[in-house]
Amino acid sequence: MNARMKRLMQLLEQEKIDAVLVAQRYNIRYFSGFTGDTAYLYISKKRQVLMTDSRYTVWAKEEVKDFEIFQTDRAVSYQEKTRQLAEEEKIQCIGFENHAMIYSDVQAFRAKLPDIAWLELDKKLERLRCIKDASELECIAKAEAIGDHAFSHILKELCVGMTEKEAAWEIECAMRKYGAEGLSFETIAVFGKRTAMPHAVPGDARLQKGDFVVMDFGCIYHGYCSDMTRTVVMGEASGRQKDIYETVLRAQLAALSAIKSGMRCCDADAAARNQIEKAGYGQYFGHGLGHSVGLFIHEFPALSPKEEMVLQEGMTETVEPGIYIPDFGGVRIEDLVVVTRNGCENLTKSPKELIQL
């Protein structure tokens, strides 16, 4: 039994459940290796079954080694197969992913298995993914390196008159060219006053001299996500732009030098937030400092002011403070790090001193 499955077995013990029904696609991938998007896992102490339909059975047999693979059809649905397994194993309680299943599917399982006690797992399986192993970290580092390449590329392409959509497309093309299999989220490339919106969608605005350019992007490599943000200025930066940029950079560097295993997530957030507050921009930093990254772009735990969880070796975190001033513009600088015993390893290698194009 591999380390991931051992942690899952411990969860069964702790929660006093006989089996889990896994529906969330990244959890399915994490525990079984199956990369398709339509399946359920039934996992008890004795049985590990991947249920999927005829579109995916050949695929599943190639990828999944330690599970029985069952093909559902009109006669034996996911619910009916689960009922049969539960009956054969004489089980009483199944944990299910209440946050990842649609309501009508939950109702269908309950209707077919009326005597089973269904326990809501919330995000307990996601929590089992928070410490990354060496193979996961390798993929995340590679994905982040692709992002670094894309950033060097876009610096050469940005020019007055280019639209936000064109800039986003250049970044995306470069990531694909350097080996990305997809995007980990919709690319953000915004100019000028629109940079005051932390998550704006690229539009038809054209780049002008003196604009801030915020670029937040990431890709997927072997299933794992990357995430980085850089802000540059087209032409010469104004005094106010420089002040905001230097404040965000100081905050980011303060957090990077503070982060290490044993530190609470909220304290990492505070390390950056204090710098921004001290400079008088506290009210313009509305979001948390960062989030973990893995198979999904926003993983647990977050570096938020409310998160008291302690960082551990092997966790990944983004470190992305920002200052956003309505009707003026914003700056965000984001790196992706791996928590180590005495500090953190920065996977993002792109330069951070203010670039004036």
> Which of the ranges 39-47, 161-169, 311-319, 348-356 carries the binding residues for Mn ion, by CB under 5 A?
311-319
> Which of the ranges 73-81, 141-149, 197-205, 226-234 carries the binding residues for Mn ion, by CB under 5 A?
226-234
- Does 299 bind Mn ion (CB under 5 A)? Our answer is no
Sign of the alpha-carbon torsion through 197, 198, 201, 207: positive
Out of 126, 164, 227, 335, the residue judged to bind Mn ion by CB under 5 A: 227
Provide, rounded to whole angstroms, the least separation between the CB of residue 305 and Mn ion.
16
CA distance 53 to 63: 15
For Mn ion, the closer CB: 97 or 317: 317
Q: According to DSSP H, which parts of 124-238 are helical?
A: 124-127, 134-157, 164-177
Give the residue among 51, 47, 1, 55 at the shortest CA–CA distance from 22. Answer: 51
For Mn ion, the closer CB: 97 or 320: 320
DSSP β-ladder status, 68-71 and 48-52 = parallel
- Does 170 bind Mn ion (CB under 5 A)? Our answer is no
CA distance 197 to 55: 42
* Amino acid (one-letter) located at 14: Q
> Which of the ranges 98-106, 115-123, 316-324, 344-352 carries the binding residues for Mn ion, by CB under 5 A?
316-324
Burial class (CB in 10 A: 0-12, 13-18, 19+), 353: exposed
Out of 79, 318, 348, 350, the residue judged to bind Mn ion by CB under 5 A: 318
| 104 Cβ contact partners less than 8 Å away, ≥ 6 residues apart | none
What's the distance, CA 329 to chain centroid?
A: 26
- Does 136 bind Mn ion (CB under 5 A)? Our answer is no
Instruction: Give the total residue count for the chain.
Output: 357
Provide, rounded to whole angstroms, the least separation between the CB of residue 332 and Mn ion.
9
58-61 contact pairs (CB < 8 A, 24+): 59/34, 59/35, 60/34, 60/36
Provide, rounded to whole angstroms, the least separation between the CB of residue 121 and Mn ion.
26
Provide, rounded to whole angstroms, the least separation between the CB of residue 334 and Mn ion.
6
For Mn ion, the closer CB: 182 or 235: 182
Site for Mn ion in 13-72 (CB under 5 A): none
Provide, rounded to whole angstroms, the least separation between the CB of residue 336 and Mn ion.
8
> Which of the ranges 46-54, 221-229, 233-241, 344-352 carries the binding residues for Mn ion, by CB under 5 A?
221-229
For Mn ion, the closer CB: 124 or 142: 142
- Does 335 bind Mn ion (CB under 5 A)? Our answer is no
- Does 275 bind Mn ion (CB under 5 A)? Our answer is no
Q: Which residues bind Mn ion (CB under 5 A)?
A: 227, 318
